[in-house]
Amino acid sequence: MKEITLKELRAMSEDEYKLIDIREEDQTMFGMIPGAVRIGADELIAGSEAITAIPKRKKLVFYCQIGRRTQDLDDVPRLSERDCYSLAGGYMGYIRSELSNEDNKEERKNRAEESIRKKFHKQLFSPFAKACKTYRLINEGDRIAVCISGGKDSMLMAKLFQEIKRHRQMDFDLTFLVMDPGYNKENRALIEKNADVLGIPITVFESSIFDAVDTIEKSPCYLCARMRRGYLYSKAKELGCNKIALGHHYDDVIETILMGMLHGGQIQTMMPKLHSSNFEGMELIRPLYLVREKDICAWRDYNELHFLQCACHFTDTCSSCREDGTSASKRLETKKLIAELKKSNPFVEANIFKSVENVNLDTLIAYKQGGVKHYFLDDYQ
């Protein structure tokens, strides 16, 4: 397949071509190139007829995450009679291009901060502050390591922490911590560029986690997430912090509850805070606990920001990476299930969230507490 650069593409009339995103659906949820349509690579290889809806006079410009997977389309019969191109650098190349303009850096930072204070105050800052107060996530004298993975959630969390500190209602310190577990140079550069544009003074440290999980066939993302957590705790403690903050939001919470029931045969939730069992004196907090993902996406899109889904070197082929190590395919499946249920019950999300606050122990067959299992027959008369 012939390759075309962004510069060459932008020199053409938009009527001359059609952009086609061939990435997995969960990847496109983190952003697409404007004007593109999604037709998955597997669909194309399987003989999808979606291409026939695009006029034959138009060039077909395919892109994946970093420009490798489009080469898999060379032998697709349905494309043999079309004028097809592969976008050099893929979606990542597009993002790097969008961030290359240094002239408006201060303007973009100010716009992002202003939108938090005004346009998205109710949707973002208010629930952030409410979670911090309700669950007592921030205390006087805290030194909090705000852990930044490079995605939209952790980047927004960093900005919200900056905003709440600006209010000076409590004295606490922040360290914006980025761990490089073995990113390729382009992905690391993108994280650093986004932090620079948003005015987030990051502290970067390196580890060899990706090398350690490179040969693991079973659940490498779960192991990677566990190891990341340990490294973050260790570095944060070394820097004098007593807490690490992760960017899990409301939707992560309700999806975790439902996934636990459907796939794990258990009732549990993602806690707003918890003590580390391996690092004495350290605590994990989740200040985005009450913030909705759609509002995070709205803030991102309003400010024309572009973040990573996953910055690992498996990004172009791996669709299972999640910050908490859970399967992205199961997450997406659960997300769709909740959306379907919401059509007939608009309160389904809130009900799932509240379900773990309204547990009636008298109606449970068994439950665990402190690692000990208790049966209803233990006290049954």
Helix (H, G, I), strand (E, B) or coil at 375: strand
Q: Measured between alpha carbons, how far is 35 from 12 in angstroms, rounded to an integer?
A: 14
Read off the tokens for 105.
């850096």
Find the Cα–Cα–Cα–Cα dihedral 279, 251, 123, 128, rounded to 10°: -10
What is the pLDDT, as a whole number, of residue 318?
A: 42
Per DSSP, 122 falls in state: I
CB 24 within 8 A of CB 64: no
- Maximal C-alpha separation, the chain: 81
What is the pLDDT, as a whole number, of residue 327?
A: 54
What is the pLDDT, as a whole number, of residue 253?
A: 97
The secondary element (H helix, E strand) that includes residue 244 is strand 243-245
Tell me how crowded residue 286 is: count the other CB atoms within 10 A of its CB.
24
Cα distances from 213 to residues 120, 232, 237, 293, in angstroms, run 39, 17, 24, 29
Q: At CA 264, angle to CA 214 and CA 131, rounded to 5?
A: 90
Helix (H, G, I), strand (E, B) or coil at 170: coil
Tens-place pLDDT, residues 5-44: 999 999 999 999 999 999 988 788 778 898 999 999 888 8
User: Which residue numbers in the chain have pLDDT < 50?
Assistant: 314-325
Helix runs in the chain, H state only:
6-10, 25-28, 41-45, 90-98, 105-117, 126-134, 152-166, 185-198, 209-213, 220-238, 250-264, 293-302, 328-344, 348-355
Per DSSP, 283 falls in state: E
pTM of the model: 0.84
Tell me how crowded residue 298 is: count the other CB atoms within 10 A of its CB.
16
